[in-house]
């Protein structure tokens, strides 16, 4: 079976039919409005015609050609959902006057866990094998090789499971080979270097929202020039507004759909909630999730939505991953209502340093510039069942800065200094000697396991504390170091398991703190405005990072032994 026959003369092309039944059905579904748009645009293309017999044949044979690769569907025939069938019919059926494929690019934007990668893998195999192009070259690409492997490994597994393909295609670690066509299918690294000699016939690219630039895609696109009917297959969820090459491609896709960009050879399928939609409304979710009920399950989205209602960061994630809406990279983080609920006594912060003497703890030291706030936060894990984590917070600020900040920023530094929530140091610069003495004193008063220090501007302090016997850990402020403890901090707050004792200055900083997210879903705290202070929470997160790193490694067999 060939996805496209040999070119035929324009004179024998059938008349373009009126909208077939499947297009009419799709037109009645809001999420499938793109189908009628592309049908009409293809029908208006001079010389274009629709090969309904071939489209019907491919759809009918699809379950015989392809098998699902994982989960409860693994090994079972891949039966196209209606939205997938519409895309296949458009890609396969529409031809140019010379008999070659009309659509040369597919952009599929869809919510997470709707089978995007599996669908892209099957499409790539379809065109690589069934086009019957001698010396065909298919390439899987993404931001990096590991991500590109996801779609490639699915394609390789489909080959092994397919009665039609398994005996014809040879599978290797990073490639597939089709001997009778001298055709290859390879996985690529994320870099364009060394790719200029390729001659791609099929390109499959995943997770566009993570692409830092379009260099590799551009290099591969230029390599298709010698092919009769090359095809590029791209899929993704959305990402962060204005960032990366994915945003550029998204805007190009919108322009194609609305007719601003005249391109009849690109098929754009966008499944996404509208910006004005109520993200908590279950009726909206199907716009971005055409497989809703199968994958993802409605119960899963309900649970994720419930968690997101209490957390601006998780709301952002829910919108981006499950409603396919582009969001800001930096958003407000923790609700002050949830923060306040963590303290059973709003004056306990004054007593914690005395009550917790001798207890095991982990410290985070966020050293400031010479005239700013420095934070030293001790994090105490629960000592018994049912106890909350506790914090001892020490904040320093130069005396001259306290009056200035209270007057200029209208923040009660002066009142905090009077109550002891902020420690006044003499003069107009931070007294690093006083801070180091306090850390040493705390090392004697508590069972201090470690001191996490920001690498920036702290070498001297780190050396002196280490010489005095402190276990100093240089703690980075990037996503790699901060993500895990930030997520644990968030979890403890939402679970009301982080007792901060009602520390007033720390509460103010929690109100200032925002969260930044990278494309991989890692997070770290950041300021919403340059003048706002978040030193206390950052120091606490660093201390928490040491505490959770101390946990014993996960034993995958432990649960088995518990039932033995």
Based on the fold, state whether residues 388 and 311 are members of the same structural domain.
no
Asked if residue 68 belongs to a domain, the reply is yes
Asked if residue 3 belongs to a domain, the reply is no
CATH number at residue 46: 3.40.50.300
Based on the fold, state whether residues 172 and 101 are members of the same structural domain.
yes
Based on the fold, state whether residues 282 and 394 are members of the same structural domain.
no
Using omega within 30 degrees of 0 as the cis cutoff, is the peptide bond preceding 541 cis? no
Helix, coil or strand: residue 211: coil
Would you say 349 and 393 are in contact if contact means Cβ atoms under 8 Å apart? yes
Based on the fold, state whether residues 519 and 405 are members of the same structural domain.
yes
Last residue of a domain, one of 328, 352, 371: 328
Asked if residue 449 belongs to a domain, the reply is yes
Residue 303 Ramachandran class (φ > 0 left, ψ -120 to 50 alpha, else beta) = alpha
Based on the fold, state whether residues 253 and 159 are members of the same structural domain.
yes
The one-digit pLDDT tens for each residue of the chain (564 residues) are 444 444 433 444 555 668 899 999 999 999 999 999 999 999 999 999 999 999 999 999 999 999 999 988 899 999 999 999 999 999 999 999 999 999 999 999 999 999 999 999 999 999 999 999 999 999 999 999 999 999 999 999 999 999 989 999 999 999 999 999 999 999 998 888 887 889 999 999 999 999 999 999 999 999 999 999 999 999 999 999 988 999 999 999 999 999 999 999 999 999 999 989 999 999 999 999 999 999 999 999 999 999 898 788 899 999 999 999 999 888 889 888 889 999 999 999 999 999 999 999 999 999 876 667 899 999 999 999 989 999 999 999 888 788 777 777 778 888 999 999 999 888 777 788 889 999 999 999 999 999 999 877 677 888 899 998 999 999 988 999 999 999 999 999 999 999 999 999 999 999 889 999 988 889 999 986 655 789 999 999 999 999 999 744 434 444 333 333
For 287, phi and psi rounded to 5 degrees?
Answer: -60, -35
* Rounded-to-integer distance, Cα 541 and Cα 535, Å: 10
Alpha helices (H) along 427-475: 432-445, 459-467
Last residue of a domain, one of 249, 271, 293: 271
Q: How far are the Cα atoms of 240, 460, 490, 509, 536 from residue 529, in angstroms, in the given order? A: 19, 29, 21, 12, 16
DSSP 372: S
CATH number at residue 453: 3.30.420.240
pTM of the model: 0.78
Q: What's the token pair of residue 483?
A: 């993500």
Number of domains in the chain: 3
Based on the fold, state whether residues 157 and 83 are members of the same structural domain.
yes
For 50, phi and psi rounded to 5 degrees?
Answer: -115, 120
Helix, coil or strand: residue 149: helix
Say which residues have a Cβ less than 8 Å from residue 436's Cβ, sequence separation at least 6: 461, 464, 465
Q: What's the token pair of residue 143?
A: 């931001």
Say which residues have a Cβ less than 8 Å from residue 556's Cβ, sequence separation at least 6: none
Helix, coil or strand: residue 236: strand
Asked if residue 2 belongs to a domain, the reply is no
Residue 410 Ramachandran class (φ > 0 left, ψ -120 to 50 alpha, else beta) = left
Helix, coil or strand: residue 462: helix
**Confidence at residue 393, expressed as pLDDT on a 0 to 100 scale:** 97
Based on the fold, state whether residues 433 and 534 are members of the same structural domain.
yes
Q: Label the pairing between strands 330-332 and 137-141.
A: unpaired
Place of tokens 């707050």: 493
**Confidence at residue 14, expressed as pLDDT on a 0 to 100 scale:** 55
Alpha helices (H) along 189-243: 215-222
* Rounded-to-integer distance, Cα 330 and Cα 479, Å: 13
DSSP 528: S
Say which residues have a Cβ less than 8 Å from residue 115's Cβ, sequence separation at least 6: 81, 84, 291, 295
318-347 core/surface letters (b: 16 or more CB in 10 A; e: else) = bbbbbbbbbbebbbbbbbeebbeebbeeee
Based on the fold, state whether residues 366 and 440 are members of the same structural domain.
yes
Based on the fold, state whether residues 200 and 242 are members of the same structural domain.
yes
- Closest by Cα among 379, 342, 377 to 359: 379
Structural domain that includes position 163: 19-271
Based on the fold, state whether residues 344 and 463 are members of the same structural domain.
yes
Q: Label the pairing between strands 389-398 and 374-380.
A: antiparallel
Place of tokens 């959902």: 81
Q: Which helix (H) or strand (E) holds 364?
A: strand 360-366
* Rounded-to-integer distance, Cα 345 and Cα 59, Å: 65
Last residue of a domain, one of 228, 254, 271: 271
Asked if residue 6 belongs to a domain, the reply is no
* Rounded-to-integer distance, Cα 480 and Cα 499, Å: 26
- Closest by Cα among 453, 254, 468 to 365: 453
Based on the fold, state whether residues 418 and 514 are members of the same structural domain.
yes
Asked if residue 14 belongs to a domain, the reply is no
Asked if residue 560 belongs to a domain, the reply is no
Would you say 334 and 490 are in contact if contact means Cβ atoms under 8 Å apart? yes
Q: Which helix (H) or strand (E) holds 141?
A: strand 137-141
* Rounded-to-integer distance, Cα 144 and Cα 216, Å: 10
* Rounded-to-integer distance, Cα 338 and Cα 323, Å: 25
50-80 core/surface letters (b: 16 or more CB in 10 A; e: else) = bbeebbeebbeebeebbbbbeeebeeeebeb
Asked if residue 558 belongs to a domain, the reply is no
Based on the fold, state whether residues 44 and 162 are members of the same structural domain.
yes
Tell me the sheet residues that pair with 208: none
As a three-state string, the secondary structure of 158-194 is: HHHHCCCCCCCCEECCCEEEEHHHCEEEEECCCCCCC
Place of tokens 């399950």: 297
């Amino acid at each position: 079976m060939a996805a496209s026959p040999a070119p035929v003369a324009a004179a024998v092309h059938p008349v373009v039919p009126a909208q077939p039944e499947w297009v009419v059905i799709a037109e009645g579904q809001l999420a499938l409005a793109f189908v009628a748009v592309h049908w009409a645009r293809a029908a208006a293309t001079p010389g274009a015609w629709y090969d309904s017999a071939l489209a019907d044949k491919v759809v009918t044979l699809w379950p015989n050609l392809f098998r699902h690769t994982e989960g409860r569907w693994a090994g079972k025939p891949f039966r196209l959902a209606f939205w997938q069938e519409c895309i296949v019919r458009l890609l396969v059926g529409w031809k140019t006057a010379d008999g070659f494929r009309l659509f040369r690019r597919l952009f599929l934007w869809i919510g997470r866990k709707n089978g995007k990668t599996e669908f892209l893998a099957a499409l790539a195999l379809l065109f690589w094998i069934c086009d019957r192009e001698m010396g065909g070259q298919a390439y899987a690409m993404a931001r990096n090789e590991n991500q590109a492997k996801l779609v490639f490994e699915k394609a390789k597994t489909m080959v092994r499971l397919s009665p039609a393909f398994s005996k014809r295609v040879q599978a290797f670690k990073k490639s597939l080979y089709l001997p009778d066509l001298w055709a290859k299918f390879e996985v690529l690294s994320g870099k364009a270097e060394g790719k200029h000699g390729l001659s791609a016939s099929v390109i499959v690219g995943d997770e566009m929202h993570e692409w830092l630039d379009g260099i590799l895609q551009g290099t591969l696109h230029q390599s298709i020039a010698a092919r009769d009917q090359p095809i590029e297959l791209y899929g993704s969820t959305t990402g962060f507004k204005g960032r990366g090459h994915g945003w550029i491609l998204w805007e190009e896709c919108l322009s194609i759909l609305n007719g601003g960009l005249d391109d009849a050879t690109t098929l754009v399928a966008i499944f996404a909630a509208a910006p004005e939609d109520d993200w908590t409304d279950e009726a909206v979710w199907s716009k971005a999730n055409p497989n809703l009920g199968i994958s993802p399950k409605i119960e899963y989205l309900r649970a994720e939505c419930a968690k997101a209602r209490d957390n601006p960061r998780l709301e952002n994630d829910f919108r981006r991953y499950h409603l396919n809406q582009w969001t800001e990279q930096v958003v407000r983080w923790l609700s002050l209502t949830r923060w306040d609920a963590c303290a059973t006594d709003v004056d306990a912060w004054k007593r914690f340093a005395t009550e917790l003497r001798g207890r095991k703890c982990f410290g985070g030291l966020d050293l400031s510039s010479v005239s700013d706030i420095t934070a030293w936060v001790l994090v105490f894990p629960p000592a018994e069942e049912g106890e909350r984590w506790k914090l001892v917070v020490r904040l320093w600020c130069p005396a001259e800065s306290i009056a200035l900040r209270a007057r200029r920023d209208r923040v009660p530094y002066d009142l905090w200094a009077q109550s002891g929530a902020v420690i006044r140091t003499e003069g107009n610069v931070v007294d690093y000697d006083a801070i180091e003495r306090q850390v040493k004193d705390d090392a004697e008063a508590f069972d201090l396991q470690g001191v996490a220090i920001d690498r920036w501007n702290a070498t001297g302090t780190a050396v002196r504390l280490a010489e005095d016997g402190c276990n100093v850990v240089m703690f980075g402020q990037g996503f790699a170091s901060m993500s895990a403890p930030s997520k644990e901090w968030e979890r403890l707050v939402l679970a009301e398991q982080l007792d901060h004792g009602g520390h007033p200055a720390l509460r103010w900083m929690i109100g200032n703190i925002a969260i930044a997210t990278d494309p991989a879903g890692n997070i770290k705290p950041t300021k919403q405005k340059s003048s706002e202070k978040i030193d206390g929470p950052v120091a606490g997160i660093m201390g928490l990072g040491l505490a959770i790193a101390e946990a014993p490694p996960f034993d995958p067999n432990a649960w088995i032994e518990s039932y033995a």
